[in-house]
């Protein structure tokens, strides 16, 4: 089923979702309290006009936002509904990862409804629309650094920066060749983004993927699920995101200074590469592309560095232990720090239960309850 064939009327939407939910026509008739002589079949055929209050009770029955039934939010703009209908166009991403993303979006929506949304620090900062995608990515990366007062140095807490922009970030194992993905969702009529990064990549590649996905969010690039693959398509949005990631993580001015320092010390290209990877938290491939693009290294020299093991590069630069420290835990799945913090705030105010906190932490309810009690955040006699 494609987006072109999705039904447009409330009755047809209800019929489709009813069919995919396991809910019966009798249950539909019961919640609608239909008048005598009117059947659920007539409702589904569009012969009985549904009131706004009718749509609310049906939305509750089908576990979808009323905006989906009314048509204010298209069926393919809500990840959970798209998963139910089998219309998600992301064959590279496993269903369990998509369902996990949908659960995070559900939690974010609920938390925002209780605690209020968070304003972006880039309000009023426009992204570049330069006709050359690489230039647009470069300019926008600098605008984001300037807009968030980040200076020209390395970005230590990239996850924190992404979440400050309103994009919850989580880490999960994804299939080989998939670096990450982001979801564009409109379940309550407001566009929100969620980013998932693969734990199977080295930590430097994870950071690059995250910066790449942030660019998609800032430009509000189309597509319900955008997947970051090993092979980068030669399309504007992907080329722009690659340029943004490189310049956001390693500005050209900073690279010039690093190269000048390395030349003054007469260190090799392999040592410089290792230093840049550790200091700037950027993958070897991204470092080498930057050095070649900015004409500080030839393609042949870059290929020579590329052919060596990363461990050997780090050993030559005296950075092997530091590299191991930074790599520790890179394969561990983790939830969104922003959503966990928001859930704990909601829990402390009695707005959400322990189950949401447990789900976002990725652990069972009993262990979460014990932690909350131990930290004095919950009454041991009653933890909802």
Report for 25-29, 115-119, 183-187, 280-284: range of highest mean pLDDT: 280-284
Tell me the mean pLDDT in the region 3-26: 84
- List Cβ<8 Å contacts ≥24 apart for 158-162: 158/207, 158/210, 158/211, 158/249, 158/281, 159/210, 159/337, 160/337, 161/214, 162/195, 162/210, 162/213, 162/214
Give the Cα separation of 193 and 221 in Å (integer). Answer: 11
- Please state the pTM of the whole predicted model: 0.90
Number of Cβ within a 10 Å radius of residue 95: 11
Of residues 366 and 257, the one with the higher pLDDT is: 257
What confidence tier does 72 reach under pLDDT thresholds 50, 70, 90? confident
Token duo for residue 80: 């959970």
Inter-residue contact 224 to 105 (CB < 8 Å)? no
**Banded pLDDT at 118 (limits 50, 70, 90):** confident
Q: What is the mean pLDDT of residues 305-317?
A: 96
Residue 46 buriedness (CB in 10 A; 0-12 / 13-18 / 19+): middle
Return the pLDDT at 23: 87
- The fraction of the chain above a pLDDT of 90, given in percent, is 69
The pLDDT of residue 22: 82
CB < 8 Å & 24+ apart, contacts of 311-320: 313/270, 313/271, 313/273, 313/274, 313/277, 313/284, 314/274, 314/278, 316/268, 316/270, 316/271, 316/274, 317/267, 317/270, 317/271, 317/274, 317/275, 317/278, 319/274, 319/275, 319/278
Distance of CA 339 to the CA centre of its chain: 12
Q: Containing H/E element for 169?
A: strand 169-172
* Residue 378 confidence (pLDDT): 61
Confidence of residue 123 (pLDDT cuts 50, 70, 90): confident
Domains of the chain, by residue range, sit at 3-72, 252-318, 337-374
Band (pLDDT 50/70/90 cuts) for residue 36 is confident
CA 34 to chain centre: 42
pLDDT at 168 over 70: yes
- Stretch 109-124: mean pLDDT: 89
Supply the pLDDT for residue 261. Answer: 96
Using pLDDT thresholds of 50, 70 and 90, give the confidence band for residue 246.
very high
Give residue 138's pLDDT: 97
Question: Is the separation of the CB atoms in 194 and 183 below 8 Å?
Answer: yes
Predicted local confidence at residue 384, as pLDDT: 53
Is 189 a residue whose pLDDT tops 80? no
**pLDDT tops 70 at residue 1:** no
Q: Are the beta carbons of 269 and 303 closer than 8 angstroms? A: no
Quick one: average pLDDT of 274-280? 97
> What is the predicted pLDDT for the residue at 350?
87
DSSP secondary structure string for all residues of 120-136: -TTTT-PPP--SSHHHH
Average pLDDT over residues 268-279: 97
CA separation for the pair 195, 30 (Å, rounded): 40
- The per-residue pLDDT for 190 is 83
Average pLDDT, the chain: 91
Output the CATH code of domain 3-72.
Answer: 1.10.260.40
Q: Quick one: pLDDT at residue 275?
A: 97
Q: What angle do CA 356, 360, 365 make, to 5 degrees?
A: 55
Q: To which residue do tokens 């590279």 refer?
A: 92
Confidence of residue 233 (pLDDT cuts 50, 70, 90): low
What is the Cα–Cα distance from 283 to 209, expressed in whole angstroms? 10
């Amino acid at each position: 089923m494609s987006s072109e064939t999705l039904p447009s009327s409330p009755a047809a939407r209800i019929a489709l979702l009813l069919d995919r939910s396991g809910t019966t026509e009798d249950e539909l008739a019961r919640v609608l309290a239909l008048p005598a002589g009117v059947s659920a079949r007539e409702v589904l055929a569009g012969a009985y006009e549904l009131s706004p209050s009718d749509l609310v009770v049906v939305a509750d029955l089908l576990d979808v936002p009323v905006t989906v039934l009314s048509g204010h939010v298209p069926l393919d703009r809500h990840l959970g509904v798209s998963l139910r209908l089998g219309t998600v166009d992301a064959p590279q991403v496993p269903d369990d990862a998509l369902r996990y993303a949908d659960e995070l979006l559900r939690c974010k929506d609920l938390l925002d409804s209780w605690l209020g949304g968070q304003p972006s620090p880039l309000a009023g900062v426009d992204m570049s629309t330069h006709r050359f995608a690489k230039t647009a990515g470069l300019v926008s990366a600098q605008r984001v650094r300037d807009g968030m007062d980040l200076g020209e140095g390395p970005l230590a807490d990239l996850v924190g920066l992404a979440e400050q922009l309103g994009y919850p970030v989580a880490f999960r194992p994804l299939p080989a060749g998939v670096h990450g993905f982001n979801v564009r969702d409109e379940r309550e009529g407001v566009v929100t983004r969620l980013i998932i990064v693969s734990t199977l990549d080295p930590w430097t590649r994870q950071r690059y993927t995250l910066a790449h996905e942030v660019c998609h969010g800032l430009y509000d690039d189309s597509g319900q699920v955008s997947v970051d693959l090993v092979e980068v398509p030669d399309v504007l949005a992907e080329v722009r995101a690659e340029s943004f990631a490189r310049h956001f993580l390693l500005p050209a001015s900073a690279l010039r200074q690093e190269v000048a320092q390395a030349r003054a010390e007469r260190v090799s290209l392999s040592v410089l590469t290792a230093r840049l990877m550790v200091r700037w938290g950027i993958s070897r491939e991204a470092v080498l592309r930057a050095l070649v693009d900015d004409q500080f290294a030839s393609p042949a020299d870059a290929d020579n560095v590329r052919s060596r093991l990363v461990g050997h590069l780090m050993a030559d630069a005296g950075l092997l232990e530091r590299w191991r420290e930074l790599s520790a835990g890179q394969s561990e799945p983790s939830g969104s720090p922003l959503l966990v913090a928001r859930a704990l705030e909601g829990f402390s105010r009695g707005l959400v239960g322990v189950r949401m906190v447990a789900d976002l932490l990725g652990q069972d309810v009993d262990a979460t309850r014990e932690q909350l009690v131990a930290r004095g955040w919950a009454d041991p006699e009653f933890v909802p």
